[in-house]
Amino acid sequence: MRSSCAVFVPVVMQWNFWLTRRFSAFGEPGLDFHFVGKHGFAFSPAAYVGGRVLLADRITLTGRIGYPTLAIGVSFMM
């Protein structure tokens, strides 16, 4: 059995709501473009909600959940 590789590229608009100086919530509607191995390219609607916690002056811990993926990571604010 051969495993298949999947690559998702979300193209979304983000609305931020700063609830405190260190925490914000956001919503992201848009499209997800994806490549799934031998099945080729496709796209699907994307909708996410998430939050961001300020760890340092310009570094945040960011998490999002939605359709079709979820993610957690670090953001570097410019």
**1-50 confidence digits (pLDDT tens):** 566 778 888 899 999 999 999 999 999 999 989 888 888 888 889 999 99
| pLDDT of 53 over the 80 cut | yes
Query: Is 1 a member of any domain?
Result: no
Domain that holds residue 62: 6-76
Query: What is the average pLDDT across 53-70?
Result: 91
Cβ–Cβ under 8 Å, residues 2 and 27: no
Q: How many independent structural domains does the chain possess? A: 1
End-to-end CA distance of the chain: 44
| pLDDT of 67 over the 90 cut | no
Query: Is 28 a member of any domain?
Result: yes
User: How far apart, in whole angstroms, are the C-alpha atoms of residue 49 and residue 16?
Assistant: 10
